[in-house]
Chain A
């Protein structure tokens, strides 16, 4: 029996090793995704070092999207209050705003522009990140598919904003957009006629544009709300420092380079050269390089590909969690901990003397195993024969976990050994395996019932290291946070108070070197206390803590 064992429970984690993912992509797409995932990894590590993990913007892009949306809204309301919704007034009112209120007005207008640009950038990164980490299929299909309309709405809102200034850029954008829409059957080549001569422009049309520029962002907000419905505790605001710094940087940009209008629109002329906001108007050059029909085709294909992606990759879904009523007492801890709202409590169906029982909504289940880690029946100090808990994963259950732990503890015999429980999606903990160090990897660290830590320490391990995903960026949303709270005793099921915290360490990082460092420290401390555990007891059969019920 080797003194160390790297035991991998599953291959569920997609984010941190796309080659292991369950997807069956086209090879070229797969390798492009791998490349992108690797680029993100490198960047994230670098950003971790600079910002700290919790403040790392790359780990909260969706939350930054929400935050920027609010900045855009507030600055937009300010500008709108002083905006004149008429053809003649629009351009003038914005110029007046800049002149009469160079500070507040100018700042708000520039902020409205730059925060919108930042919004587009952040959302583009959010999309590419989720894509490259393979987070679009399986139970995530809903988040993915509901994200797609947000691209259209975001672009529509941004492009619409450029019409309202009614300068030469607005004029070009309005005409290009009408040419493009005019291609659609039923619209016809008449829309563009609204923008060809000054005489045909009406204030009513302008009011309609303003109405759209308010209505579309409201739809976008609604869409954003739908987008996060499947996540039980979505992060919709960035960490405070990051948010404040970002706003500060945007304000500096607004003061340094205020957003300005072009010359007032003049329909008798076209500007030969235009300063484009590439975040929103990238399609304009595309339109004139191709044709309205081709641009429609391109966008339709891109949209379809995105929408169908969850089903194109044909990945097989790992089985959802299963409840074993005989071991469920209806405590609802699994409901409290499930990050996707995939467990609900329902009236008891088996006649046992508990009012309620847990039921898994299989469509929502991510197979993360966090519920198994939350269930009070998941304690390894139970009968050796049939270890079944209240809610568990069919392919990798807590009984298997205990077997592997037992095996690993046997391998540690005679050494002052350490057990490392690590999340598969966090740092690659397998590099830690060596004589005296047994590594057990779980789909999510939240699957680990804290009693397993006590079990390991009482059954021969000197020290236990728990490795989780980066703080606030758990592959399954909350496994890292829950595990910390359980080990601190702040959340049920908690690690019992009499377990020596000196012999335990939890590290949240995707960097294996951090795990190595923590393990080294832990082991050097533990060498200090005389190890009563080096005399190893037999595990199978007569483990001290386990009641042989």
Chain B
């Protein structure tokens, strides 16, 4: 074979090989190696809530003298502090404490809802969950409590939520 032709053939083979490497690289790393998100016998416990705690102080009636001193457009008979209570959450799994945390209300004036999110892989199988909430810092201890047995299989999500209008603590 003449040299020129042979070197051309080699060049084309080289190109084909490099294009193949490129395609393999793209094709492979586009979905491999697989990422193990949870161990094979694990379920996932999620705690997620967004709940406005109780307003910390009751409204106060303003006296006439006090109202007199205020600008006319701001004269309201009640003074209502807007600060809300932080929300404390305690979670026990099979009698052992998992979390006991306090979540601050949002907003510069602490007048928003408190929100929390935690994720934790747990072994699949039967568990006893005990969840307690306190949304009023003026009360010691907790003002909501709920216990439930859950049976997540591997890969199931157990979600702890809070909805005051649906009876408080929800486990689903």
Give residues in A with beta carbon < 8 Å to B.
47, 49-52, 113-114, 117-118, 121, 172, 179, 182, 188-190, 192-193, 196-197, 245-246, 249-250, 252-253, 256-257, 259, 267-279, 284-285, 288
Contact = CB atoms under 8 A, between A and B. Distances in A.
Closest 7 pairs between A and B when the two form their complex, measured CB to CB: A275-B31, A189-B117, A50-B14, A189-B115, A272-B38, A278-B29, A276-B35
B46 A196 contact: yes
Nearest to B119: A179
Nearest to A260: B31
A182 B22 CA distance: 37
B14 A189 contact: no
Contacts, number: 113
Given A49-B14, A193-B50, A270-B38, A253 B115 contact: no
B135 interface: no
A249 B24 CA distance: 10
B27 A272 contact: no
A252 B30 contact: no
14 contacts: A49-B14, A189-B103, A189-B116, A192-B48, A193-B50, A245-B19, A271-B155, A272-B42, A275-B32, A276-B35, A277-B29, A279-B30, A284-B35, A285-B35
A253 B27 contact: yes
A117 B22 CA distance: 11
Contact of B25 (A121, A192, A196, A267): A121
Contacts of B32: 275, 278
A288 B120 CA distance: 11
B69 interface: no
Contacts of B113: 190
A46 to B, nearest CB: 9
Given A272-B37, A276-B35, A114 B18 contact: no
B43 to A, nearest CB: 8
A274 B34 contact: yes
A188 B46 contact: no
Q: Chain B binding site: helix, strand, loop or mixed by DSSP?
A: mixed
A363 B35 CA distance: 48
B150 interface: no
B115 A270 contact: no
Contacts of A113: 30
A117 B29 CA distance: 9
A192 B35 contact: no
A288 to B, nearest CB: 7
Given A49-B11, A270-B38, A272-B36, A277 B31 contact: yes
A50 B37 contact: no
A269 B11 contact: no
Given A51-B18, A249-B19, 8 more contacts: A269-B155, A269-B156, A270-B155, A270-B157, A273-B36, A273-B37, A275-B32, A276-B33
A47 B14 CA distance: 9
B31 A276 contact: yes
Contacts of B115: 188-190, 193
A542 B55 CA distance: 100
Interface string B117-152: 101000000000000000000000000000000000
Contacts of A188: 106, 115
A190 B37 contact: no
Nearest to B38: A272
Interface string B93-108: 0000000000100100
A248 to B, nearest CB: 8
Given A192-B48, A245-B19, A270 B37 contact: yes
A249 B46 contact: no
B35 A273 contact: yes
Given A196-B159, A277-B29, A50 B35 contact: no
Contacts of A117: 26, 29-30
Given A114-B27, A253-B23, A272 B11 contact: no
A250 B172 CA distance: 45
Q: Which of A52, A113, A196, A277 has the most CB of B within 10 A?
A: A196
B159 A50 contact: no
Contact of B157 (A114, A269, A279): A269
B50 to A, nearest CB: 5
B91 interface: no
Contacts of B38: 270, 272
A246 B155 CA distance: 40
A54 to B, nearest CB: 13
A463 B26 CA distance: 49
A274 B37 CA distance: 7
A47 B18 CA distance: 9
B56 interface: no
